[in-house]
Structure 1
């Protein structure tokens, strides 16, 4: 998973070792010694995740973490605290200051990389939801509220029939919410837990063998439609970094050791609940506020009204990150012939099926829209010219691979598309101009049509 990481540590050896490890893991890395340097880097080359040595004596790094969390521009950046003493008090102080996790030295490389992957997944989801929300507000819809009136649903899962009164008491007292207890076996039964919890707390027991037997539970919760948006906190035996890494990679949102203080477990649980409820609010805004106004009623894709403000925000994010933005224009070849020969209802079925194929084969962060008639737009942030060319040809082939169903008593037909591609923001240097990049994509589309259709053409400046 690509991402940009900032390392803040006054010890040169620490910076060098961590930077090499992160680069070997294919991350883009900046490293610095002081808060002033870090703030300058954040302002010009905003990272996706920051690793901070909280043990540096020269600066108040806890205050720095808190400041990052309080600033709306940096609040969604993942923070991993390093160099912290392996005590309940030190871990709580770091988490309370705003760190997402605390990894005392010596650091397990396996756990560190798993934690980074987990936080980058969360950041990607948060970015997408905030991006959609900011677009809805630009279109005049109500901003999502961040104060939550509804109580969260908490479920404590144990690997056997025995209740866990100690952990249950910690959660109930700390969260001031009722906690329902279930066995892990019962939760694997479909619809066994209703209403669906906002937070699953999985107590893995006292042994690593018991914990390892619950890998499938986390994977199952993540794969189910009903529970995939729920957050998951796994409570593990002490000194089990490999288990913690595996649970994070399987989809757990956070892990804690069984001997952690009540305050630490409560703090981690509260953070997950806050994030879950905020994401729910943002999803509701997109689903309810925007659907009728900014979607095409035939295909369900976003329409032209949505594209302009959302594409502007995609461009701004890509520019801030120093990454490219690819824009594709796709047009169905000889679409008028389908309407003339088989009727407009058949043509509508082609448009619907094409929209489904595009949606099912692109990332969640990508924008797919119907611009009108038989023309579609795809925008892909953080996509290089080579990646855009490959994606465009893959989508073109996807249309060709299977015929389209025109409806009862009508034959299936083969359909092709022409694609024009433009990429802006090369290497973070070329400035973004939405009108220019869309015009370049349109020009490339015209070139693909003129060259015989059923092919991809790249804008000359992107080739």
Structure 2
């Protein structure tokens, strides 16, 4: 377990005891005696987790938590409050102010460290996504606190269906979520029948916890539900069950009796973090897609196409199958731009790209690699099949003019295609392994394209090896 933790407590003994517990887990620990000192340290270097001990000498815990909530770099940093004899209302007040958890001392070491591991995993997930975003230089990941676009969905489940129904009924007046209450057995069987929920509330009986913990592990094992938020409710306080639930992937654990107001606060916290993670992931995915996608046609670009072509070539060599590399080029495209303008040329390019893509099957690659040039790669394709497919692509483009709605003009378009076969490019040598080798494959198809143009355009030429 790694992480940078800040302990804030006005009592030195408390800080030392906590530091000793955490140091054994190889965590980097810093300490602050006052709230102001801690806030200065947070501004200088935001920690991965803050542990706050009761009231401070210069400000209340509530005041400190609200200061942290306003700090821009603290949106994803977990906060834990601990104190002696915290009442229910004190714990709920801390969570309302932004704490992820409020613990009573003395703190049992095993469940405490399990909770710390859980919170650091959540923090690391968000930071990992941000790191990828930075590496890819993708903007647009500003954090916000906007709610879900639609109410979050929640599955409430327990080994006793009546218990789950009761919890759902108690939560209903307090939360905006869409909820279903099910016995655990029914929840397992129906996981593939309904839309993936945003969160699960799982009741675990500590006398026989296997069913609930197996369901928790199943949720984390499935790709569809792996990122759902999970709140586990124990029927009584049990250190072993708490540790097992947290280490199996629960985002939070609370003991019975079920407190709907506390459950509401805990669900809001873990759903907020899930929403942030989802938003960062979507933004990262959009940015990565933008990096490998041509914005005009929506096709992959050259950056994506070259390594994919090399991968297809290696796979073809390993499986002893041939493959076809095609370069397609619009005929007389300069005339379109000169006569109708570049805006019209963009419409033509986008429509031709759509027609070509609609003719391809799964596993076949198409990319825009130049102004009006497209790369098409067909795995496991013979020379005869490649020729037939190339002529079909020409026909798909030729069959109807491109309609410019704004000008009520129809522009006839055709393409020429050059085709090379992978086996012909390196009949005795190793398969292409690098992007530079992939450029050589495209050059071979380009030579065939020149021949197609020389033959009058709207035609297909296949390059064959010299005899």
Q: State the TM-score, normalized to the length of structure 1.
A: 0.61
Mapped to 2, the partners of 1:22 and 1:301 lie a distance apart of: 49
Mapped to 1, the partners of 2:88 and 2:124 lie a distance apart of: 30
Q: 1:111: how far off?
A: 1.0
Q: 1:65: how far off?
A: 1.1
Contact 1:346/1:407, CA 8 A, preserved across alignment: no
Partner of 1:93: 93
**For 1:323-346, what per-residue CA distance to the aligned partner results, in whole angstroms no more than 9, with x for missing partners?**
xxxxxxxxxxxxxxxx9xxxx955
Question: Map of 1:380-391 to 2, 5 A cutoff?
Answer: none
Q: 1:98: how far off?
A: 0.9
Contact 1:7/1:29, CA 8 A, preserved across alignment: yes
Partner of 1:11: 11
Question: Map of 1:183-198 to 2, 5 A cutoff?
Answer: 183-189=183-189, 191-198=191-198
1:26 equivalent in alignment to 2:20: no
| Alignment CA distance shift 1:287-1:25 (3 Å) | same
**For 1:156-194, what per-residue CA distance to the aligned partner results, in whole angstroms no more than 9, with x for missing partners?**
011134353431122211113331012212233374451
| Alignment CA distance shift 1:295-1:53 (3 Å) | farther
Mapped to 2, the partners of 1:412 and 1:226 lie a distance apart of: 43
Contact 1:171/1:179, CA 8 A, preserved across alignment: no
Partner of 1:60: 60
Mapped to 2, the partners of 1:9 and 1:287 lie a distance apart of: 41
**What is the aligned length?**
323
Contact 1:161/1:183, CA 8 A, preserved across alignment: yes
Contact 2:311/2:433, CA 8 A, preserved across alignment: no
Partner of 1:258: 256
**For 1:345-380, what per-residue CA distance to the aligned partner results, in whole angstroms no more than 9, with x for missing partners?**
557645999xxxxxxxxxxxxxxxxxxxxxxxxxxx
Partner of 2:110: 110
Mapped to 1, the partners of 2:302 and 2:156 lie a distance apart of: 39
Mapped to 1, the partners of 2:35 and 2:143 lie a distance apart of: 32
| Alignment CA distance shift 1:64-1:260 (3 Å) | farther
Contact 2:151/2:178, CA 8 A, preserved across alignment: no
The farther-off stretch of 18-27 and 271-280 is: 271-280
Contact 1:212/1:243, CA 8 A, preserved across alignment: no
Partner of 2:46: 46
**For 1:273-301, what per-residue CA distance to the aligned partner results, in whole angstroms no more than 9, with x for missing partners?**
2222332222222223440335799xx99
| Alignment CA distance shift 1:345-1:48 (3 Å) | closer
Mapped to 2, the partners of 1:82 and 1:412 lie a distance apart of: 68
**Structure 1 unaligned runs (5+)?**
305-338, 354-405, 418-463
| Alignment CA distance shift 1:31-1:414 (3 Å) | farther
Question: Map of 1:44-443 to 2, 5 A cutoff?
Answer: 44-56=44-56, 58-83=58-83, 85-132=85-132, 139=138, 146-189=146-189, 191-204=191-204, 207-259=205-257, 261-294=259-292, 349-350=313-314
Contact 1:84/1:91, CA 8 A, preserved across alignment: no
| Alignment CA distance shift 1:71-1:162 (3 Å) | same
Query: Could you say what secondary structure the match of 2:242 adopts?
Result: helix
Query: Could you say what secondary structure the match of 1:6 adopts?
Result: strand
The farther-off stretch of 49-58 and 248-257 is: 49-58
Query: Could you say what secondary structure the match of 1:173 adopts?
Result: coil
Contact 1:133/1:143, CA 8 A, preserved across alignment: no
Partner of 2:399: none
Partner of 1:307: none
**For 1:16-52, what per-residue CA distance to the aligned partner results, in whole angstroms no more than 9, with x for missing partners?**
1111121111101111211122123223343211110
Contact 2:233/2:258, CA 8 A, preserved across alignment: no
| Alignment CA distance shift 1:349-1:8 (3 Å) | farther
Contact 1:154/1:179, CA 8 A, preserved across alignment: yes
Mapped to 2, the partners of 1:352 and 1:114 lie a distance apart of: 48
Contact 2:167/2:258, CA 8 A, preserved across alignment: no
Mapped to 2, the partners of 1:411 and 1:22 lie a distance apart of: 61
Mapped to 2, the partners of 1:69 and 1:258 lie a distance apart of: 29
Contact 1:118/1:249, CA 8 A, preserved across alignment: yes
Mapped to 2, the partners of 1:16 and 1:244 lie a distance apart of: 25
Q: 1:253: how far off?
A: 0.5
Task: Please provide the CA RMSD for this pair.
Answer: 3.7
Mapped to 2, the partners of 1:67 and 1:162 lie a distance apart of: 42
| Alignment CA distance shift 1:149-1:412 (3 Å) | farther
Query: Could you say what secondary structure the match of 1:181 adopts?
Result: strand
| Alignment CA distance shift 1:161-1:347 (3 Å) | closer
Q: State the TM-score, normalized to the length of structure 2.
A: 0.61
